[in-house]
Amino acid sequence: MGAADDTDMPDRRRQIMDAALQVFSTKGFQKATNRDIAEAAGGISPGLIYHYFKDKQDLFVSVLRERASILTIADHPQQLMELPPHQGLTLIGHSYLKIMSAPESVAMFRIILAEALHFPEVAAMIRQHVVDRVFGVLRAYLQHQIDRGFLRPHDTGIAVRAFLGSIVVHIIAREVWGQIEALEITNDQIVAMAVDIFLHGLSREPGEG
């Protein structure tokens, strides 16, 4: 089946990406092949994948960009920059939590983490296309809020890791350890607490009841 035969499937690109997510999340990036993805996509020709994606890395990055709402923020940072800290951090928190808590994303995250530890090229690819871009935008957002006078000066790199890290702990407790208490906490509660602690801390002001 070639590109000329593709007119009956206008959503073929989406079909390939859905199949790739399934294969990547079960086999990992290194072991996944175009043949595996083609079979998962309904038995299309492996060569047809190159009609939509340059190579396996391009397909992998496209899947991440499509599924990770936080990458949408990184692609359109102007929509984030003018939001006040509470609203902006809430948006960031929900976007981050969404990618990390969807069942297929959790499976893929586990595979990616395992492969990144063993294959430096996979770690470098994820860092370049995901981590560096997201962290860069979030640091720029915090710096912009400092410049606007909404936040006190601080190390934005440490702050980004502290904020996202507080959410990751909940995800691990819920999705990996299956802690009963963690399973009962809603996404809204997780994000609201993370934002509140990040912006205001837990110290009680003098005279506060």
Q: Is 161 exposed, middle or buried (0-12, 13-18, 19+ CB in 10 A)?
A: middle
In angstroms, the CA 88 to CA 92 distance is 6
Is residue 21 within 8 A of residue 106, CB to CB? The reply is: no
Mean pLDDT throughout 13-36? Answer: 89
Tokens matching residue 30: 């290194």
pLDDT at 204: 74
Most confident segment among 43-52, 70-79, 153-162:
153-162
Tell me the average pLDDT of the chain. 85
pLDDT band (50, 70, 90) for residue 4? very low
CATH number of 68-209: 1.10.357.10
Round to whole Å and give the CA distance between 102 and 204.
Answer: 36
Instruction: Judge whether residue 174 has pLDDT over 80.
Output: yes
Domain 1-56 identical in fold to domain 68-209: no
Check whether domain 1-56 has CATH 1.10.10.60, yes or no: yes
What is the tens place of the pLDDT at every residue in 101-154? 666 666 666 677 777 788 888 888 888 877 898 899 999 999 999 999 999 999
Any idea where the domains of the chain sit in the sequence? 1-56, 68-209
Residue 94's nearest CA partner among 163, 174, 142, 154 is 163
